[in-house]
Structure 1
Amino acid sequence: MINEYEVFETVRFISSFHRVRGSDEYKRLLDRLIEMLLGWGIKREQIEVIEYPTGGIKYGNFDSTMVWNIRDAELWLEDPRIFINSFGACKTSVLFGSNPTNGWQSLELVDEEYRGDFSNKAVLVNENPSKAFKKYVKQLGAKCLIVYYMRAQDESIGRTPEKMPQTVNYLSLPHTLEDSKEGAFGFSVSFDQFKFLKKFANRGNKVRLFVDSELEAGNLQVLRVRFSNRGMKKIGVVAHLCHPNPGANDNASGSALALHLCRELLGMKTAVGVDIILLPEFYGSLPYAAENSYDCVINLDMVGEDQQKTGSTLSLHETPPLLLNYYDELLFESLMIYAPFSSESPARRFFRSRFKSGSDHVVFENYGVPSPFIGQWPDKYYHTNEDTPDKCDPVMFKWVGQAVLRTLELSEDPPRHILEVAQAQAKAFLIKLENQPGFDLIRTVMMEKKTKPSKDLKSKKKIVPSKEGPLGYEWLDKAGELSEKRYVVDLGEILNLGARYLQDYDASISFAANYIGADKKETKDILDILIKNDFIHTV
């Protein structure tokens, strides 16, 4: 039986580490977690740390990042001398991937309204740091960015700059091998700090700062704990361990629960083999999924939220119906069975939705693996220094943990009604597609759960993805105004899956538009953008 309070304490422990993928501190945490697993009675031969090279290597559509070790950093206004922030005071205050400054530097403070030479300046911006990097660092020669930028603003839960003026967002500079050669560094500031510094920009004032860090090619680590049953189905439970201190809900919560599932699996006799896998998000799952085969992977991402504090709702995001989906039905039923109640009403919010991109399940689905995703969204404190353990709710750990364990127990021989419900769901979706281009092809792939179209069904215009794995995010730079629409990332990934499993232009458009609920012309425009920019190839 999952002990929710023990899981919560593990969240507190994990969140105390600054979990930069591949870094010395990430590896120290892995060592401590292995000690914990051994202390629970898990045998050493069940535990494995798998390493993948990073820095100057491309995995699918993702350029791998350099390994970043950060020791210290400070940011001051020079005259008048006023302290702004430091790595010691706030771990998210330094932009992930910042190069070392090699000692203290004094740089003139300017902003986007400055009309002079940006080289050797500190540029104050309120925009996505990746876009700011391309403009001010790569094009205009700046070395330092001081950034305020809040992703996923949401007035309904109070996630706005005005309502969170002291919050420091977790932000990154691009730090692939090529990007790191620019030597850029920077800081993330709160909204109040941004407004304060704005008063001193473009007036000859300077900031005084240093960053003590290093960027180098290295290795990323994946921790796997294996519970084997020969000849049976194999299920993976995955959670990403990376993210800064504190990063409690994102994603110490998923990692802690996955670890405690190991403790429960010790005393269980499951008919399936189970791997518990902790890895760096995307950059670890991409090479891992390429090498390891599963019948299903359950992704635990941000499962611990206190819904009253964070404004979150627990969600089960389904596997796209091109892949086997009875695991979704089994997990959904299990979540409903164990849902907490107060009197006769549900005590927590729960929602089931179509596929949503943005985490490691997308990677495994691109390798033909059904991958239901359990997570919570929205979250007021997502990617900020305020994502702390006090925003977690132990009840969530027991709920989700019991549901996952039941799913593992029944996965080898699922109840008949689960199979029938899954088949009915697929048939109901196909009714929406009748008489649309590519219907016969979609029906064949969905009902037979093939990973390639039948030979007797010829594509009118054959398309295939250019790379293994998910589409990623870089393509959004090519999408113009469409990139501002929130569902476009999901639509792009569904089109990529359509190209992979349907391999037909018209069928991919019909499937994606109906599944996402998007306009068909807009769906066609996005597919054409992906083809034009070589993310998807015509054959």
Structure 2
Amino acid sequence: MDGHEVVDTVRFISCFHRVRGSDEYKLLLERLKEMLIAWGLSERQMEIIEYPTGGVRYGNFDSTMAWNIKDAELWLEEPRMFLNSFKSCKTSVLFGSNPTNGWKIFELVDESYSNDLSNKAVLVQMNPNKAFKEFVEKRGAKCLLIYFMRAQDESIGRVPTRMPDTVNYLSLPHTLSASQHGAFGFSLSYRQYELLKNFVNKGAKVRLFIDSELKVGKLQVFRVRFKGLQNKKIGIVAHLCHPSPGANDNASGAALALHLCRELNEKRLAYDVDVILLPEFYGSLPYVAQHKDYEFVINLDMVGEDQLKTGSTLMLHETPFLLNTHYDELLYDSMLLFAPTSSDSFSRRFFRSTFKSGSDHSVFENYSVPSPFLGQWPDRYYHTNEDTPDKCDPVMFEWIGKAVLRTIELADRIPDYVIEQVHGRMKSFLRKIAAKPGAEIIASVVKKSHGESVEIPEPKVRIFPSVEGPLGYEWFDKAGELSEKREVVNLGETIQLAARYTQDYDATITFASTYLNVDEKMTQDVLDVLLKNDFLKKIN
């Protein structure tokens, strides 16, 4: 595999504004099919599977509307000053913005303004979901001008003052019900936000238009199939959605998956292999509900970073012990085998870590499919207009590509030393929980998932998820101060998995707190919030 060729494919994908369900997303799929055919694959191996979007709920997720965006501009009226346009910066328009139906002029105000907001442009620095609830749903605003940078990290220079001209990729809620409010808006750079602060609540105006379309539609999952000799199946998944450029997130994972197709087409495989490109969560949720017969799935999400530029570290996030971890260990062994070196040490940062939520592997794992996750974090340019292909590293693609291919090739004959390492890690974890509540149930679930024939004891207090699929993010609105804690995102999802597979209250607390090394009291608090708000059910 030539890493420079993968970067070229990243450049191609980055040219497309990859909104799930959009015309441009569908056009990209057709172009990718042409690319694979030119590489020697048969069109019979390829399939586009469609699922409805808009007015549909998948698990804990309300599906969004399909959104097409053609053009948009934002100006300050007096003094007349151009601020941004969709053609010059694809992340400048808030994802899911309704059309303005021509040019509009709005008086510029901020959150302290107490009168009617229906004909005002509200300037805020906050999470767009919160801004939508505060100013659109509660106070009738139509236009939001937002500065908000997620995942700020001083250590890699990801802070507003050091990235003053960066425009963040932000979304308005655009489910069917949310779209009825007719809201729209722009994502500002920090410098633009600071400039406009000088004009708020003084009668100043902004002039803007957004030429867009929100509609009920369909989203597409693109699957490429390779036949093996045995009746077992492996998946490689990468989400294709996100705005242009979106190079590392996630043109990188999609491009690597496509080049793996090129390699797989030349190999004699033991297991069937599906390569799956899809919209993150909104595509994987309906897909996995129908296709959960995989031995394991490798999730490729943000795999291409040039670490010197982005400040990232490559991570292998494991499948929790509640599911089979033999393939995780094989992938880790393969990553070490092919790791790039310089002066007898690694020349790239790489760590192994516990489960992390936030991508499509969590969907597969909630349907009992082990899914190790390869990705890089943190990333200085994550979800910004500066996530461009020049921030990719060809060495990363070659390294990860070789490791994934070896994992696939050895899946039917995992080396004994890898199996021994799995059992050693499993036993070490079980010793750690041995004296804790629910330990017997956890031990039985873990042993059974790794091939032992054991009976799982009856839960003392039975709990289980209310719906299929991952927990998602709606519960944050009900979590109060807990939602501000850094550990809570992964903790909530791990609780969901533990409840699904142990179905015991104490075992869920013990597993999640021990596995993530999180305080038991906070784990219980999060679990109780989930129970109180019906994300989990409880039977005494």
TM-score band (shorter)? over 0.9
State the match for 2:121 in structure 1: 122
Counterpart Cα distance in 2 of 1:230 and 1:421:
28
| Most deviating of 109-118 and 241-250 | 109-118
C-alpha separation between the residues in 2 aligned to 1:457 and 1:275? 36
Displacement of 1:414 in angstroms is 0.6
Q: Is the CA contact 1:232–1:412 (under 8 Å) kept in the aligned structure 2?
A: no
Q: Which stretch of the first structure deviates more once superposed, 73-82 or 162-171?
A: 73-82
Are 1:43 and 2:42 an aligned pair? yes
Aligned twin of 2:5: 6
Identical positions, percent: 66
Give the counterpart letter for 1:320 in structure 2.
P
Secondary structure class of the residue paired with 2:267: coil
Q: Counterpart amino acid of 2:529?
A: I
Which string of whole-angstrom CA distances, capped at 9 and with x for unpartnered residues, describes residues 245-277 of structure 1? 000000000000000000001111121110000
- Alignment check: 8 A CA contact 2:364 2:371 kept: yes
CA distance in structure 1 between the partners assigned to 2:253 and 2:456 by the alignment: 44
Question: Offset at 1:3?
Answer: 1.1
Matched, 1:471 2:471: yes
Confirm whether residue 173 of structure 1 aligns to residue 172 of structure 2.
Answer: yes
**Alignment correspondent of 1:150:** 149
* Cα contact 2:444–2:455 (8 A) shared by 1: no
8 Å Cα contact 2:445/2:456 also seen in 1: no
Shift in CA distance, 406/366, structure 1 to aligned 2, threshold 3 Å: same
Task: State the SS of the aligned residue for 2:161.
Answer: coil
Letter of the aligned partner of 2:28 in structure 1?
L
Pairing of 1:23-422 with structure 2 (within 5 A): 23-229=22-228, 231-292=230-291, 293-422=293-422
Consecutive unaligned residues in structure 1, runs of 5 or more: none
SS at match of 1:98: coil
Answer yes or no: is the 8 Å Cα contact 2:227–2:269 preserved in 1. Answer: no
Structure 1 residue 424: Cα displacement: 1.1
Q: CA separation in 1, counterparts of 2:376 and 2:45?
A: 30
- Report the TM-score when normalising by structure 2: 0.98
Paired residues for 1:475-494 under 5 Å: 475-494=475-494
1:229 is displaced (CA, Å) by 2.1
Report the counterpart of residue 511 of structure 1 in structure 2.
511
Whichever residue aligns with residue 307 of structure 2, its letter is: Q
CA contact (8 A) 1:120 1:141 kept: no
- Letter paired with 1:119: S
Please give the secondary structure, in 1, of the residue aligned with 2:123: strand
RMSD: 1.2
Cα pair 1:328 1:372 within 8 Å, conserved: yes
Distance 1:456 1:237 in 2: 31
Give 1:425 deviation, angstroms.
0.8
Report the 3-state secondary structure (helix = DSSP H, G, I; strand = E; otherwise coil) of the residue aligned with 1:93: coil
How many Å apart are 1:113 and its aligned residue? 1.6
Pairwise CA distance, 1:191: 0.2
Structure 2 counterpart of 1:102, one-letter code: N
Name the aligned partner's letter for residue 142 of structure 2. Answer: K
The alignment partner of 1:51 has SS state of: strand
2:318 alignment partner AA:
E
3-state SS, counterpart of residue 108 of structure 1: strand
| Distance in structure 2 (CA, Å) of the matches to 1:461 and 1:81 | 65
Deviations 1:61-112 (A, max 9, x none): 0000000000000000111111110001100000000000011110111111
Structure 2 counterpart of 1:492, one-letter code: G
What is the alpha-carbon distance in structure 2 between the residues aligned to residue 74 and residue 262 of structure 1? Answer: 40
Provide the C-alpha distance between the structure 1 equivalents of 2:491 and 2:75, rounded to a whole number of angstroms.
43
Shift of 1:456: 6.0
Using the TM superposition, give the Cα deviation of residue 447 of structure 1 relative to its aligned residue in structure 2, in angstroms.
Answer: 0.6
Q: Give 1:231 shift.
A: 3.6
1:220 CA drift (Å): 0.5
Determine the C-alpha separation between the residues in 2 that align with 1:353 and 1:450: 20
Deviations 1:294-344 (A, max 9, x none): 010000000000000000011000001100001111000100010111121
Aligned residue for 1:358, secondary structure, equals coil
- Aligned 8 A contact 2:11 2:247 in 1: yes
Distance 1:51 1:27 in 2: 11
SS at 2:509's partner residue? helix
Using structure 1 for the length normalisation, give the TM-score: 0.98
Paired AA for residue 323 in structure 1: L
Q: Aligned partners of 2:447 and 2:273: how far apart in 1?
A: 27
- Secondary structure class of the residue paired with 2:70: strand
SS of the residue 2:200 aligns to: coil
Q: Secondary structure at the match of 1:149?
A: coil
- SS of the residue corresponding to residue 320 of structure 1 reads coil
Q: Tell me the distance in 1 between the aligned counterparts of 2:258 and 2:63.
A: 26
CA displacement at 1:436 relative to structure 2 = 0.7
Per-residue deviation, residues 457-516 of structure 1 (Å, max 9, x unmatched): 111110110010000011011111111112101000011011110001111000001011
CA distance in 2, matches of 1:456, 1:474: 32
Structure 1 residues 221-240: Cα deviation after superposition (integer angstroms, max 9, x where no partner): 01100002254321000000
Q: Matched residue of 2:162: which SS?
A: coil
Aligned residues: 537
C-alpha displacement of 1:450: 8.1
Q: What residue ranges of structure 2 are gaps of 5+ in the alignment?
A: none
CA distance in 2, matches of 1:92, 1:456: 50
Paired letter, 2:448 = E
Alpha-carbon separation, structure 1, partners of 2:327 and 2:455? 28
Deviation at 1:455, TM superposition (A): 6.4
Deviation at 1:346, TM superposition (A): 1.1
The letter for the 2-side match of 1:34 is K
Corresponding residue SS for 1:162: helix
- Measure, in 1, the Cα distance between the counterparts of 2:60 and 2:443: 29
- Distance in 1 (alpha carbons) for counterparts of 2:98 and 2:450: 47
Closer, same or farther: CA 231–345 of 1 in aligned 2, 3 Å: closer
| In 1, Cα distance between equivalents of 2:229 and 2:326 | 22
Q: Distance in 2 between matches of 1:467 and 1:354?
A: 24
Native 8 Å contact 2:53 2:64 kept in 1? yes
Aligned mates of 2:394, 2:131 — CA distance in 1: 39
Q: Deviations over 1:396-455 (max 9, x none)?
A: 00000000000000001111111111111111011110111101100000011189x976
Deviations 1:188-228 (A, max 9, x none): 00000000011001111111001000000100101100002
